Every structure is written in structure tokens, then in C-alpha cells.
């Protein structure tokens, strides 16, 4: 949907008693932190009957990536964390991309300059680097030394390190208020900021100016962001005050951390990429459940036990900012794997079958346009493996043997290695026993079909366990290998029922011929 540029809408006229936003930067694969922040923003917005806004902060043109914005849309929608206003759906505050709002910021900059709250700085990057190096050498606090403050362009041009393209800096007063209230952490105090750049040489605003202007013009009532922004909050409160604007409420979420307490990053952690979770076969509802647990206590049942499995609707119902844990949570993938398995087991069979299909097609188990017969078989196989997988990606290895030619089952090395000297005798006895079991195609006319799992188990136990005197593990191993080519497979007798009598016998004979 294309965005129009309406006249600014007074905040009081904007829809929603509360208005919250998430504002990712399109600089690569979306970070899992975008989903984490979206979850908490959206939960509060939905609980309060408010609005959730998606804004794209694309003023960092050096790191901008063309495909990143669409990835943000796709991954958040995959998770079900949908927005009421944004670049692709429009809304009363369009445009929702900062790069399309450049004319919005200029009047605010000019006002700050005119009222003495900001000044132009002509220092080159080289001059600033030398300044910081000298401050570090002298063990002084790093920050701009105000060389340009109070000077005209001509006066500054006569000094070293002059750039033709100035930036604009805010003039932070010595008595700047450093304390503010946080919905999660209570009263906070941040370090004194230096004279932050608010307009870059290329005409793009920095985060600090743009976030204040955009949040005001979009009527944002609650700013929910990572704790790394605590130190910037006094700058933002100062800008609100200078511009005569009402600041929003602030809530600074704890950062996601690795087991060694380091911040989770896309450079070092594949799971920091939001796209990774779908690639690895996680369910979106499991990831949402996991992200909620990272910074929020589980509910408790009547006996006082933790209820760690919940839906987004459950999370919304009991959400309270005072319950958010400010301590940086550990990103425990083992816990996520467990949750994913629980959610997989909770799916209806047709739903799980549909979710497995793209992974099976990706791995070449099924083609792009499977037949009705193939889909019907897939649902039968899915019923066998639903309790055996923790990731959707694990299905391909278990499902593949059901879609290969009976005389082309590939036997894995570890499966062949565990065949004993008795394997040929076992396969012969199994073949004879199963050949005698009738089915709907080969049985006595008019009789009930009996090539079913209970009858198959009874026949094989009689032939192999009772007849040959073998333990079940040794008795059924060669049969399992013949049917699936694997040491581990879906339940044996149910697999034979799905394959049918002809396929089962052909697979037994095929492996037997190689021994």
C-alpha cells in the first residue's frame, strides 16, 4: 500500500487509549530482539485496547539493506505479532519510514537552533578522532569539546579540522536533569550526556532527534526499548522539554544474554537472527511463548506450580509492567526446544501435517505439487512422529522412507552395522509370517482386513520372539532396517500398516537379497 503524507494529526485525535511502537532498523536480518520488544509492546497495547505501530528507522543509510524491511514484515507476521499502523498498512501518521519524513524533522532542528538549544559543528571526523584519542590518553571523560560553540562559519573555517558540511549538536546544559521514572525499574539516574549530534551532515536526523519527533507526532504514549537506551533517556527528555512536548512513559527491557552473560549478537549467535527460527523448524507460538518467559514470570496453577506453556492471549490477559524481571535473561535454547516439542504435540493433526509440508518439500521428500494420495499418507505418518520430533526439520528423515520406491530404500551405515548374523534368518521368518497375514486386497473375499498394526505385531512376535527365541530388540531390528533403512524410525507395526502388505514384503526381500 502506498503511503500518503497527511497533515500532522494532533495526538489527542489519534486512535487508541495507548499507542506503542517498535522501530527496527533495516540493516540486515531482523534481530530476535525485534520480536522480543514487539511481544511486550503488543501485549500491553492489546490489553489496553490500544494501537501497535511498526515504524522503520532507516536513517542509517550506510548500513541500509534493501531486503531487510520485507524480512521484518515477514518474520513478525509469521510470529503473529501484527501491527495496526505501519509502512505496508498505512495509518493516520504516515509515512512510517523515517527516510520519507525528512521534511518533518527540519522545523524542529531550526527551532532548537533559534532558541539556543543547538548549534552547528564543522569538525571533521579526523579532528573528532584526534580529540577522543587525546581525551583517552589523558584519562578524561570522552565527549565533544565544543570547539564550534559560539563561532560563526567564517571563524570556524580559520581553525584546523574544518568540514564544509556541518552537523547540528544539542547544547546540553550543566544542570541537565539525569533522573527519570521507569515502568519496570522505578526511578533511574543516567550518566550526564555530551552534546549529541541530532542532525547529520547528510541531512538525516540521528536516532535521538528522530525518535523524539516521531514518537510525539505518532502519539506514542509508552516507549518500550532495551536497557541499552537508559543512558540516552535524559537527552530525549531534554528534547521533549525544549520543544514543549509531553514525554511518554518509559520502560527499559532487560537485554537478551548468552550463558556467559554476554549480549546476544547476530555476529556470534545464529539464533540472534529472527529468520533462523523458522529455518530450524520452530513453531511461531513456541518462540512467542519462550520470549515471554524470558522476562516475565510464568502463571501458577491452583497447586502453586508454574505454568510455563501459554498462548499470546494468556500472556495479554495477565500482563503487568511491574512483573517484568529487569535482570538480563539467559537465552536457553534447550528450554526453547522443550517448549517447541510441547507445542508440536499440542497441534491438531491436519495443522501439523500442513506445517511439515514446506520442510519436506524443501528437503526433496515431496514434490512441489504432491498428490492427494501422498498427502493422505503424510497425515498418517505425521500421526506416528508427532511425539518424536522437537523441530519440524526433524521430520524429513523420518518421513522420507515412506516416499521412496520399495526396492530403493537406502540403508544407513549405522543401521546396516547393527545387523547380526541372524538377520537373514529373521527376515526370512518375518517374510513368511507377514505373507500369511491377509489384507483388503489379498485376503479371503468378504473377510475383514487384518493387515493392521495389532495383527502384524502378533504375527511377528509369534514368528520371531516365540518361534526363533529372539529378544524383541534383536528380532525387530532387521525388519525396521528393511522398511526404513534407519536404526530409528516411526513405530514399526504402524509403519507396516501404512506401507501396506506389498511394499512391506518387497522391502523385506530387497534387504534380504543383500545379505
As to burial, measured by CB atoms within 10 angstroms (0-12 exposed, 13-18 middle, 19+ buried), residue 127 is: middle
Q: Residue 225, Cβ neighbours under 10 Å: how many?
A: 20
Give residue 24's pLDDT.
95
Give residue 404's pLDDT.
97
Give residue 258's pLDDT.
87
Q: All 3 cell numbers of residue 314?
A: 494468556
Give residue 61's pLDDT.
76
Which SS3 state, helix, strand or coil, does residue 181 take? strand
Provide, rounded to the nearest whole percent, the portion of the chain with pLDDT above 90: 88
pLDDT band at 259 (very low <50, low <70, confident <90, very high): confident
| Measured distance between the N- and C-terminal CA atoms of the chain, rounded to whole angstroms | 65
Q: Give the chain's mean pLDDT.
A: 93
Give residue 261's pLDDT.
81
41-45, 86-90, 176-180, 262-266: least confidently modelled range: 262-266
* 7: pLDDT strictly greater than 90: no
Q: Provide long-range contacts, Cβ within 8 A and 24+ apart, for 294-299.
A: 294/36, 294/256, 294/329, 294/331, 295/36, 295/40, 295/253, 295/254, 295/324, 295/325, 295/329, 296/323, 296/324, 296/325, 297/323, 297/325
Q: Per the annotation, does 266 bind a ligand?
A: yes
- Please tell me the number of Cα atoms within 13 Å of 31 on its side-chain side: 20
For the stretch 477-486, pLDDT in tens is: 999 999 999 9
* 441: pLDDT strictly greater than 70: no
Of 474 and 228, the one with more pLDDT: 228
| Sequential DSSP letters for 40-83 | HHHHHHHHTT-EEEE-B----TTT--TTHHHHHHHHHHHTT---
CATH architecture of 347-403: Orthogonal Bundle (1.10)
Structural contact between residues 51 and 16, judged by C-beta atoms closer than 8 angstroms: yes
For the stretch 161-217, pLDDT in tens is: 999 999 999 999 999 999 999 999 999 999 999 999 999 999 899 999 999 999 999
Give residue 10's pLDDT.
53
For the stretch 264-317, pLDDT in tens is: 888 788 888 999 999 999 999 999 999 999 999 999 999 999 999 999 999 999
Provide, rounded to the nearest whole percent, the portion of the chain with pLDDT above 70: 96
Chain centre distance of CA 275: 6
Phi, psi of 283 (to 5 degrees): -80, 140
9-13, 40-44, 434-438, 469-473: least confidently modelled range: 9-13
Does the domain spanning 405-513 belong to CATH 1.10.1200.10?
A: no
Give residue 262's pLDDT.
85
- Which residues are marked as active site? 266
For the stretch 94-126, pLDDT in tens is: 999 999 999 999 999 999 999 999 999 999 999
pLDDT band at 11 (very low <50, low <70, confident <90, very high): low
- Looking at the chain, the number of H-run helices and the number of E-run strands are 20, 11
Give residue 449's pLDDT.
60
CATH topology of domain 102-253: Rossmann fold (3.40.50)
Domain ranges for the chain: 102-253, 347-403, 405-513
Q: Considering the entire predicted model, what is its pTM?
A: 0.91
For the stretch 127-156, pLDDT in tens is: 999 999 999 999 998 999 999 999 999 999
Give residue 443's pLDDT.
39
* 351: pLDDT strictly greater than 50: yes
75-79, 314-318, 438-442: least confidently modelled range: 438-442
* 1: pLDDT strictly greater than 50: no
Q: All 3 cell numbers of residue 486?
A: 534407519
pLDDT band at 474 (very low <50, low <70, confident <90, very high): confident
| Sequential DSSP letters for 123-176 | E-HHHHHHHHHHHHHTTPPPS---TTTT--HHHHHTSSSEEEEEEEEE---TT-
Buried b / exposed e over 202-224, threshold 16 CB at 10 Å, is eebbbbbbbbbbbbbbbbbbbbb
- Among residues 10, 31, 27, which one has the least CA distance to residue 19? 10
Which residue is listed with cell 509440508? 357
CA–CA gap between residue 211 and residue 267 (Å, rounded): 26
Amino acid at each position: 500500500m502506498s503511503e500518503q503524507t497527511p497533515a500532522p494529526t494532533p495526538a489527542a485525535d489519534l486512535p487508541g487509549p495507548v499507542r506503542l511502537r517498535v522501530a527496527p532498523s533495516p540493516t540486515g536480518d531482523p534481530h530476535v530482539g525485534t520480536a522480543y520488544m514487539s511481544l511486550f509492546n503488543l501485549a500491553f497495547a492489546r490489553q489496553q485496547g490500544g494501537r501497535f505501530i511498526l515504524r522503520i528507522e532507516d536513517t542509517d543509510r550506510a548500513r541500509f539493506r534493501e531486503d531487510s524491511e520485507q524480512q521484518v514484515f515477514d518474520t513478525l507476521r509469521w510470529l503473529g505479532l501484527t501491527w495496526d499502523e505501519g509502512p505496508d498498512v498505512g495509518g493516520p501518521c504516515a509515512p512510517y519510514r523515517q527516510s520519507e519524513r525528512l521534511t518533518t524533522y527540519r522545523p524542529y532542528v531550526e527551532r532548537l537552533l533559534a532558541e539556543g538549544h543547538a548549534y552547528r559543528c564543522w569538525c571533521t571526523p579526523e579532528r573528532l578522532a584526534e580529540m577522543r584519542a587525546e581525551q583517552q590518553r589523558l584519562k578524561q571523560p570522552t565527549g565533544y569539546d565544543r570547539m564550534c560553540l559560539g563561532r560563526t562559519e567564517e571563524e570556524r573555517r580559520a581553525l584546523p579540522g574544518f568540514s564544509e558540511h556541518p552537523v547540528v549538536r544539542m547544547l546540553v546544559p550543566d544542570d541537565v536533569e539525569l533522573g527519570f521514572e521507569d515502568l519496570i525499574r522505578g526511578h533511574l539516574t543516567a550518566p550526564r550526556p555530551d552534546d549529541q549530534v541530532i542532525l547529520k551532515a547528510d541531512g538525516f536526523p540521528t536516532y535521538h532527534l528522530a525518535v523524539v519527533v516521531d514518537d510525539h507526532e505518532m502519539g506514542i504514549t509508552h516507549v518500550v526499548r532495551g536497557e541499552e537506551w537508559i543512558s540516552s533517556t535524559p537527552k530525549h527528555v531534554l528534547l521533549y522539554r525544549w520543544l514543549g512536548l509531553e514525554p511518554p512513559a518509559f520502560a527499559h527491557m532487560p537485554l537478551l544474554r548468552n550463558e556467559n552473560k554476554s549480549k546476544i549478537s547476530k555476529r556470534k549467535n545464529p539464533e540472534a537472527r529472527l529468520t533462523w527460527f523458522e529455518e530450524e523448524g520452530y513453531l511461531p507460538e513456541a518462540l512467542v511463548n519462550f520470549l515471554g518467559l524470558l522476562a516475565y514470570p510464568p502463571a501458577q496453577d491452583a497447586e502453586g506450580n508454574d505454568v510455563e506453556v501459554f498462548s499470546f492471549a494468556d500472556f495479554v490477559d495477565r500482563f503487568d509492567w511491574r512483573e517484568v524481571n529487569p535482570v538480563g535473561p539467559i537465552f536457553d535454547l534447550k528450554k526453547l526446544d522443550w517448549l517447541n516439542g510441547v507445542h508440536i504435540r499440542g497441534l491438531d493433526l491436519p495443522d501439523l501435517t500442513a506445517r511439515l509440508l514446506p520442510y519436506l518439500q524443501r528437503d526433496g521428500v515431496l514434490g512441489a505439487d504432491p498428490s492427494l494420495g501422498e498427502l493422505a499418507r503424510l497425515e498418517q505418518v505425521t500421526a506416528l512422529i508427532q511425539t518424536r520430533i522437537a523441530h519440524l526439520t526433524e521430520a524429513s528423515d523420518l518421513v522420507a522412507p515412506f516416499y521412496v520406491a520399495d526396492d530403493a530404500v537406502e540403508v544407513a551405515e549405522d543401521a546396516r552395522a547393527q545387523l547380526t548374523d541372524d538377520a537373514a534368518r529373521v527376515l526370512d521368518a518375518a517374510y513368511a509370517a507377514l505373507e500369511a497375514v491377509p489384507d483388503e486386497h489379498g485376503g479371503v473375499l468378504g473377510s475383514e482386513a487384518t493387515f493392521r498394526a495389532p495383527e502384524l505385531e502378533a504375527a511377528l512376535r509369534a514368528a520371531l520372539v516365540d518361534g526363533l527365541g529372539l529378544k524383541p530388540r534383536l528380532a525387530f531390528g532387521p525388519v525396521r532396517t528393511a522398511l526404513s533403512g534407519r536404526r530409528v524410525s516411526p513405530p514399526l507395526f504402524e509403519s507396516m500398516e501404512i506401507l501396506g502388505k506389498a511394499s512391506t514384503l518387497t522391502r523385506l526381500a530387497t534387504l534380504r537379497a543383500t545379505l
